[in-house]
C-alpha cells in the first residue's frame, strides 16, 4: 500500500467532479443578491440560523477547496481561510478570488497533522464531507477545537456510516442487482486492501466510514457541545430510499 494520504491527495489533484468545478461569475453574482447558501452534505443547505449564531465572521474552510464555498463566504463578507491538502483545489479558490477581486487566504495542509494556525483564531470552522478520506479523526477534532475561539462554531458534514455496509459496486454500477450487505462498520478500505478483500481504484481513493461514536464523541470530548444537527440524502444513491446517507452537526466551543 502506498501512503494513503498521498494517494488521496493525488486523487483530488486530478479528479473532476461536482466538488472541483469553481463557481462562475454569474453564479457569484446571484450569491450577492441572496442569503448565504452553502452545503456541508449532498441534498440540503446549511440552515441560515447556524450562521446567525456566530460571534464573528472569521471562517476556516477545512478541506473544502475547489472554488465553491470559499468564494461564497468571501462574497458574503467573511474573512476566509481555506485549508486543503490538494494544491489544485486551492488553485481554484485562488483563481476565483483573483477573477472576482475577492480576498481568500489559501493554505495547503493535512488535517491529520497539527493545523498551521494559532490558538483560538476562528469564529467558524466549516468542514463539508471530507473526513471520510482520513483514517483517524482524533487530530482533526483536537486541532479544530484548538483553533476555534471560545463560543466558536464547528460545522461538520459526514457520511452516515451504515451506507458502507453495502457493496458499493452493486450500489452504484449495477442498478439491476439486489443490494447486498458485505462489510462491517467501521469500514476501513486500507485494512481491507491489506487483507486482500478489496482493491483500491485510484479514481476514488481510500475511504473510511468511522462510527457515530467516533464522529460525534470525537467532537464532544474536545470541549465542544452539539447544539444542532440534520440529515440529508443523495437521491442518486439508491440506498437513500431506505434512509439518509449524510449527517451534519453544529457544535459550539465551550
Q: Do the beta carbons of residue 226 and residue 219 sit within 8 Å?
A: yes
pLDDT in tens, 66-106: 999 999 999 999 999 999 999 999 999 999 999 999 999 99
Residue 206, SS3? coil
pLDDT in tens, 169-182: 999 999 999 999 99
Helix H or strand E encompassing 99 = helix 87-100
Measured between alpha carbons, how far is 197 from 227 in angstroms, rounded to an integer?
Answer: 39
Mean pLDDT value across the chain = 96
pLDDT in tens, 106-156: 999 999 999 999 999 999 999 999 999 999 999 999 999 999 999 999 999
The pLDDT of 239-249, averaged and rounded, is: 96
- pLDDT at residue 168 tops 80: yes
Q: Do the beta carbons of residue 191 and residue 183 sit within 8 Å?
A: no
Distance of CA 195 to the CA centre of its chain: 28
- pLDDT at residue 2 tops 70: no
- pLDDT at residue 56 tops 90: yes
221 Cβ contact list (under 8 Å, min separation 6): none
* Cα four-point dihedral sign 212, 217, 222, 225: positive
Distance of CA 105 to the CA centre of its chain: 18
Measured between alpha carbons, how far is 25 from 35 in angstroms, rounded to an integer?
Answer: 17
More confident residue, 24 or 19: 24
- pLDDT at residue 1 tops 60: no
Q: Is the pTM of this model over 0.75?
A: yes
Residue 158, SS3? strand
Residue whose grid cell is 491529520: 112
Q: Do the beta carbons of residue 77 and residue 47 sit within 8 Å?
A: no
Amino acid at each position: 500500500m502506498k501512503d494513503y494520504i498521498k494517494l488521496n491527495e493525488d486523487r483530488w489533484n486530478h479528479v473532476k467532479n461536482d466538488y472541483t468545478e469553481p463557481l462562475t461569475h454569474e453564479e457569484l453574482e446571484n450569491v450577492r443578491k441572496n442569503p448565504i447558501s452553502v452545503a456541508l452534505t449532498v441534498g440540503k443547505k446549511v440552515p441560515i440560523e447556524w450562521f446567525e449564531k456566530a460571534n464573528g465572521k472569521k471562517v476556516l474552510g477545512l478541506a473544502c477547496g475547489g472554488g465553491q464555498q470559499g468564494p461564497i463566504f468571501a462574497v458574503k463578507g467573511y474573512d476566509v481561510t481555506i485549508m486543503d491538502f490538494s494544491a489544485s483545489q486551492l488553485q481554484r479558490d485562488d483563481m476565483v478570488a483573483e477573477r472576482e477581486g475577492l480576498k481568500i487566504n489559501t493554505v495547503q495542509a493535512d488535517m491529520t497533522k497539527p493545523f498551521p494556525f494559532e490558538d483560538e483564531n476562528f469564529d467558524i470552522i466549516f468542514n463539508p464531507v471530507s473526513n471520510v478520506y482520513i483514517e483517524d479523526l482524533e487530530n482533526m477534532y483536537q486541532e479544530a477545537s484548538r483553533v476555534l475561539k471560545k463560543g466558536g462554531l464547528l460545522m461538520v458534514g459526514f457520511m452516515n456510516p451504515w451506507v458502507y455496509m453495502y457493496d458499493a459496486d452493486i450500489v452504484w454500477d449495477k442498478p439491476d442487482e439486489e443490494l447486498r450487505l458485505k462489510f462491517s462498520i467501521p469500514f476501513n478500505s486500507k485494512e481491507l486492501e491489506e487483507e486482500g478483500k478489496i482493491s483500491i481504484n485510484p479514481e476514488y481513493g481510500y475511504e473510511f466510514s468511522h462510527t457515530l461514536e467516533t464522529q460525534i464523541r470525537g467532537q464532544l470530548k474536545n470541549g465542544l457541545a452539539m447544539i444542532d444537527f440534520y440529515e440529508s440524502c443523495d437521491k442518486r444513491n439508491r440506498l437513500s430510499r431506505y434512509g439518509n446517507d449524510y449527517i451534519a452537526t453544529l457544535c459550539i466551543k465551550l
